[in-house]
Amino acid sequence: MRAVFLPGGRRAEIREVAVPDPGPGEVQIALRAAGLCGSDLHMHYRPAPELRHGPIFGLVTDPDVVPGHEAAGVVTKVGTFVTAVKTGDRVAVHHIGGCGDCIACRRGFDMECRNKWGIYGLDRPGAMQDYMVVRSRDCVILPANVDFDEGAYYTCGAGTGYLALRRASLGLGDTVAVVGLGPVGMAAAYFAERSGARAVGLDPAEPRRRFAKEIGLYPVYDACAVDVVDQVRAATGGAGANVVIEASGSAGGRLLALDVAAIGGRVVLVGFGDAENVVDLQSTIIQKQLDVLGAWMFPLPDLQEMLHDVSVRAISIKPLISGNYAIEDAARAWTAFDQGGPGKTVLTWGR
């Protein structure tokens, strides 16, 4: 079968590998969609080959592991002791696996497990291959009205945007400023608008600002404009944003997020980045009485609840998916994604 590898130096290679068989408690999935994520750009695609073993963002990578942590597909084989899913089920995969027995795992927070089992696409074979083996406990049934490319997007990018709004305790009538309109930030703005809030977008890239307007987000401002803070305040009646989602991961974006927040606002930091920030805590946080929160990946039960919620409310994130590529076009997909194209990029299988 075909599998994509990212050896570094902005290269993507397709190699033939053996089809994996599921063991006890595992299932084999025929992939239908695999999302490209910004963290993979920084950890897998862009680093020079000699740096591909990490650590990057505190995580050690392996260039010989199939990448891709946003997976959706159809169960084709089940191992022994599997009862939760069956052959033919449409599933999305939660990509961070814990031991399942510690307190963090039993609360659903696999990403906080100290006995880490593994992460698909990092130290366990990931989604960018024809077939993938995963633990059945990491699978969530995909509702019939949620397509595979949407399901893959939810497992990380769109789901993180959704999580950020929940962390911010989004309320009716809130104004939400989103700093960074990549796949995560765009999803946060999109969900905010569909939850009764008014979203304001901020991004330095004109193509992303234009794409945001095309899907109905307005107003959208250049995050690097010298008067951008004044523009946001004017758009929010002079107060600033009640909720700010920082999804750029840049030092400047984090500072901007604090600046555009209203007094008593909630700021949720989502974007990963190695840049350090020097912050005047007194003037930017204490005197503005801000709640500053972090959001990093969502618990497994949240993925299940999220997919049920969007299914019942018939919310489609199809408009946010701007690039669908076949697996044989993986190199072209990664090049386009690396160039900062707007919207979400996904590999798809037309089986």
d(Cα 334, Cα 60) in Å, to the nearest integer?
21
Do 197 and 243 form a contact (C-beta atoms < 8 A)?
yes
Please give the average per-residue pLDDT across 250-272, as a whole number.
95
Closest C-alpha to 344, from 94, 149, 148, 119: 149
Token duo for residue 148: 């595979």
Length of the chain: 351
Query: pLDDT at position 250, please?
Result: 92
d(Cα 227, Cα 258) in Å, to the nearest integer?
15
Q: Which fold has domain 2-156+298-348?
A: Quinone Oxidoreductase; Chain A, domain 1 (3.90.180)
For residue 75, what are the β-bridge partners? 29
Residues 6+ apart with CB under 8 A from 278: none
Query: pLDDT at position 42, please?
Result: 87
- Cα distances from 266 to residues 59, 129, 149, in angstroms, run 28, 40, 31
Residues 6+ apart with CB under 8 A from 283: none
Specify the residue for token string 């959208």. 220
For residue 28, what are the β-bridge partners? 77, 133
For residue 201, what are the β-bridge partners? 178, 220
Taking only the tens place, the pLDDT of each residue in 106-148 is 888 888 888 878 899 998 999 999 999 999 999 999 999 999 9
Domain ranges across the chain: 2-156+298-348, 158-294
Do 69 and 156 form a contact (C-beta atoms < 8 A)?
yes
DSSP string, 40-105: HIIIIISS-GGGTT--BTTB---TTS-----EEEEEEEE-TT--S--TT-EEEE--EE--SSSHHH
Closest C-alpha to 38, from 202, 170, 157, 143: 157
In the predicted structure, residue 92 carries a pLDDT above the cut 90: yes
Higher pLDDT, 73 or 59: 73
Q: Over 144-198, what HEC string results? A: CCCCHHHHHHHCCHHHHHHHHHHHCCCCCCCEEEEECCCHHHHHHHHHHHCCCCE
Percent with pLDDT over 70 in the chain: 100
At residue 140, what are phi and psi to the nearest 5 degrees? -125, 130
Higher pLDDT, 116 or 191: 191
Residues 6+ apart with CB under 8 A from 134: 26, 27, 29, 71, 93, 120
117 sits in which H/E element: none
User: Considering the domain 158-294 in this protein, what is its CATH number?
Assistant: 3.40.50.720
Cα radius of gyration rounded to whole Å, the chain: 20
SS3 of residue 227 by DSSP? coil
pTM, two decimal places: 0.94
3 sits in which H/E element: strand 2-5
Please give the average per-residue pLDDT across 62-68, as a whole number.
94
Of 18-27, 81-90, 276-285, 308-317, the range with the lowest mean pLDDT is 276-285
Query: pLDDT at position 100, please?
Result: 87
In the predicted structure, residue 351 carries a pLDDT above the cut 70: no
